[in-house]
């Protein structure tokens, strides 16, 4: 479904606009989008990051999921898509935006943390596993991981500017992301 929106990934990398992001909802039978660009809070960096995190974990465990260089290129583009999570206001894990539920995007700690975890997990991973080579290795800019960590740590224990706390933070201080290494910060959050 996401590969059908490669043009959106390319455009979002330049604009970082909520109108140019990957859709969050798809028809499971056809892989077509089910709502328009402006009819839903599609920009969910945490969802794309969770996909990349699980893809990295399953690939590292030996599962063969990616088979073509076109797929590798798309995954590399998804890495570029999420690597600026530390400065991209999105709709967050609940798809509602800020605390008022008015659909106003804001920087969310859960999105930044999930992106950090995904970037760390997929960095230098060969998506073809033992059958790969230099063309199937994913690269992450180390500075982007550091920026995500720095902003994440400065945001916690708050979930965002408008939200003091949010259950979505559990996904980054524990399973599946384990994005916070500072035990004191985990306990405070």
Digit-coded pLDDT (tens) for 15-24? 998 889 998 8
Distance CA 185, CA 56 (A): 26
Task: Count Cβ atoms within 10 A of the Cβ of residue 112 and give its class: 0-12 exposed, 13-18 middle, 19 or more buried.
Answer: buried
Range 97-117 average pLDDT: 95
CA 5 to each of CA 9, 26, 52: distance values in angstroms, whole numbers, following the listed order = 7, 11, 16
Share of the chain above pLDDT 70, in %: 100
pLDDT at 109: 98
31 found inside a domain:
no
Question: Quick check: is 35 in a domain?
Answer: no
**Does residue 32 fall inside a structural domain?**
no
- Is position 169 within any domain? yes
What pLDDT does residue 43 have?
Answer: 92
Q: What pTM was computed for the model?
A: 0.95
Per-residue confidence at 95, pLDDT binned at 50, 70, 90? confident
23 is a domain residue: no
Q: Is residue 103 domain-resident? A: yes
Q: In this structure, is residue 48 part of a structural domain?
A: yes
Opening angle at CA 152, ends 150 and 154, nearest 5: 70
Structural domain count, the chain: 1
Residue 3 maps to a domain: no
Let me know: does 67 contact 74? Beta carbons within 8 Å: no
Contact status, residue 56 vs residue 118, Cβ threshold 8 Å: yes
Show the domain range for 182: 42-188
Q: What is the pLDDT of residue 36?
A: 84
Rounded mean pLDDT of 103-119? 97
């Amino acid at each position: 479904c996401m590969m059908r929106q490669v043009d959106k990934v390319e455009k979002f990398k330049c604009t970082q606009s909520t109108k140019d992001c990957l859709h969050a909802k798809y028809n499971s039978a056809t892989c077509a989008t089910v709502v328009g660009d402006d009819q839903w809070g599609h920009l969910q960096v945490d969802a794309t990051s969770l996909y990349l995190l699980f893809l990295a974990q399953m690939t590292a465990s030996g599962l063969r999921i990616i088979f073509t260089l076109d797929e590798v290129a798309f995954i590399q583009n998804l890495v570029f898509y999420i690597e600026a999570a530390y400065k991209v206001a999105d709709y967050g894990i609940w798809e509602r935006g800020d605390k008022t539920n008015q659909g106003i995007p804001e920087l969310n700690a859960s999105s930044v943390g999930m992106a950090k975890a995904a970037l760390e997990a997929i960095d230098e991973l060969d998506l073809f596993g033992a059958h790969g080579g230099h063309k199937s290795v994913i690269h992450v800019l180390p500075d982007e991981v550091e920026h995500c960590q720095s902003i994440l740590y400065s945001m916690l224990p708050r979930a965002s500017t408008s939200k003091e706390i949010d259950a979505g933070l559990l996904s980054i201080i524990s399973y599946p992301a384990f994005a916070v290494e500072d035990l004191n910060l985990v306990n405070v959050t």
